[in-house]
Chain A
Amino acid sequence: MKREFGLSIAAGLTAVLVAAGAQAAEIRVLNWNGYGTDLEWAVKAFEEKTGNSVVHDYFNSEQEMLTKLRTNPGAYDVVLINSAFTGQAEKEGLIQAIDTSGIANFADIAPNMATNPDLVPGGEVYGVAWTWGLTSFAINTDAVPTTPTSINVFWDEQYKGKIGWRDDALESVQFAALATGQDINDIKDLDAVKAKLAALMPQIKTFWSSENDWNQFMAAGDFVMAPYWSGSAARSIAKGLPVEFVVPDEGAIGWLDGLSIPTGSKNVDAARAFINYMIDPEFYVRWEAEGAPATANAKAAAALPDDSFNRTVLGNAEIVARVQFMQPVSEENRKAYLELWQELKANSQ
């Protein structure tokens, strides 16, 4: 009896200690700035729910994210990786396989995304599908009265000097691939892409580089249409700008973002709890109202109000059928695209 009592005390103590240990966990998240995980209310809610605190570090490009993982082993617990880069991170041993049993919401993720081969290399989950969205373009509805149906509106004489563009080689090449009727993941005729982009150059008024740039330039009338991300467009609309997101007949570029756990993370359990919270419908519905990309969680998507952006634009099967989802791009192709793009920019000076 006494012994049992002693045991139960020991067990109780252990439980308390474990709980205290879990409580002390500080999760370090590596993500784009302002991309869901660092929402103030969300971090607070998660901290209250689990006792784990959340600290953020940011990256400004995928290459930088990989470099930070390489040079800081053990520094991060959760990292956002675009599915086109998950395979590379896995191959370099930067991220670990995730035991999804601790992630209750994992079962609700749309099957085609949960088992996307880019996120599940070799049959093991290295990235938990979190959000997806489109890279297409948006227009200023005050300046462009009728919604364009073709991506070729960017080459329209009428909008010469009124076009915004993102100074990104890969995105530019893929856009031109769409405009020339090609597969963005298997571009056969790079010369056609180059010619198309060369013709685009005089149309461009400026490059934008951040979401705020985009909003400011649009608000100030610096451009009337520009490529944009669906989640950012949703935010601009939510903030009251006269913006409409367009998915033209030629299609759009689709991307899928996953949450991964870096190798050497000391808080794997807490990291999984955080990922679970991030794909929770309750979190998503609130985030969506402020402007968010589409969720990978089917249950969360179903919980959206009828007039929400992600339901009306991205919930439309007809639109989704036109989307070409981005696959990993080889380093050779990246270099070739960058060179092509830099040459065009240099020659248009």
Chain B
Amino acid sequence: MGATLRQRDNFRAVLLISPAYLWLLVAVFLPLSAMLFFSFLSEGPFGDGARQLVLQNYLEFFEKGFYSKLLWRSLKLGAVVTALCLLIGFPCAYVLAKTIKGRWREALFLLVILPFWSNSLVRIFSWAIVLRGNGVIDATLNKLLPFEVSVNLMFTYSAVVIGLVHSYLPYVILTSYLTLQAIDDSLIDAARSLGAPRRTILLRIILPLSLPGLVAGGVLVFVPVVGSFMEPRILGGRAGTFFGTVIEDQFVAVFNWPLGAALSFTLLAVVLLILAVASPVLKRAQ
């Protein structure tokens, strides 16, 4: 009986999962496997040069100090942007989920997502207009303040962080909202009526229960930000060299797909390693 039940479960699981994963297999996993194969080639996949299977492209990462330096820089950027998104986004989701009721909540929820539906390149270029000297911030402050100030954030590390936080903040707000909204209000009320201070309620009830959302949001921010290249390039200017831009160059400036692919998979490996190390810690916290 137990065996057949288990079989039936397995069958159902396969039925539910296979459409999504077959799709992913054809459209992402197989193409990326081809890329993984290229990363071990001595020459790009086209042309008639002699090709061998080598590890050289991966060794390059360790031989040239600046690759690891830039990866470290990208990881730090990912950490900063993720931390800011969580710190800014979680309270916002809390207000939305717990203090606003009815139609307003739906409307505001949608308002948070709407900026997402505009083109990211257009958004980045708009930030450029806002941040530069004589730009929107600069001009507004000078109108409001009695003294002369000069605000030129463009082409700085801060500009990259602002642009990325803006792009990824909605991820955190949404995922946190989804778990916060599921917390039964009566639980909080009960704790309060038992005299629990606000801090305790937050740390012992709200945070643990909304952790899945925070984790999902954090992952959805951290993972793509580490490999981002568009925002750093446009907003960072000279300060915008990161691991993602170096990978891009291998595909755009030279035809060095093997090295570009090797650097991408190194990035992936490091990101997965970080998630693997972090996951038991997060599970325990849960």
CB of A168 within 8 Å of the partner chain: yes
Closest to B249 in A: A338
**A344 to B, closest residue via Cβ:** B66
B155 within 8 A of A: yes
Chain B residue contacts of A64, Cβ below 8 A: 251-252
Q: What chain A residues lie within 8 Å of B48 (beta carbons)?
A: 92
The contact string, 1 if C-beta is below 8 Å from chain B, for chain A 217-257, is 00011100000000000000000000000000000000000
A206 in contact (CB, < 8 A): yes
In the complex, what's the smallest C-beta–C-beta distance from B276 to chain A, in angstroms? 27
- Indicate if the CB atoms of A220 and B249 lie closer than 8 Å: no
Give Cα A207 to B238, complex, Å: 6
| Cβ-based interface call for A266 (8 A) | no
Complex contacts, A290 vs chain B, CB 8 Å:
none
A204 to B239, CA, bound (A): 10
- Could you tell me if A342 and B254 are in contact, using CB atoms closer than 8 angstroms? no
CB under 8 Å from chain B, chain A span 191-220: 201, 204-207, 209, 216, 220
Contacting A at CB under 8 A, from B204-263, are 233-234, 237-241, 246, 249-256
Determine if A66 and B254 form an interchain contact, defined as CB atoms under 8 angstroms apart: no
Tell me whether chain A's interface is mostly helix, strand or loop, or mixed: helix
With A220-B134, A338-B249 as known contacts, state yes or no: A206 contacts B69, CB within 8 Å.
no
Query: Bound state CA distance, A168 and B154, in angstroms?
Result: 20
User: Within the assembled complex, what's the spacing in Å between the Cα atoms of A334 and B134?
Assistant: 38
Known contacts A331-B254, A345-B241, A349-B73; decide if A169 and B46 are in contact (CB<8 Å): no
* CB-based contact A342/B249 at 8 Å: yes
In the assembled complex, how far is the CB of residue B62 from the closest CB belonging to chain A, in whole angstroms? 15
Q: Which listed residue, B70, B73, B254, touches A335 by the CB 8 Å rule?
A: B254
A171 and chain B: residue at smallest CB distance: B253
A66 partner residues in chain B, CB cutoff 8 A: 46, 255
| Distance of A66 Cα from B66 Cα, bound (Å) | 29
The 9 closest A-B pairs by CB, nearest first: A206-B237, A346-B66, A345-B241, A206-B155, A61-B252, A334-B254, A343-B66, A63-B255, A204-B238
Instruction: List 7 other contacts, CB 8 Å, given A207-B240, A222-B155, A334-B254.
Output: A165-B238, A205-B237, A206-B155, A221-B133, A338-B250, A348-B238, A349-B73
Q: List 8 A-B contacts (CB under 8 A).
A: A67-B46, A92-B47, A167-B233, A168-B253, A206-B238, A222-B154, A345-B238, A347-B66
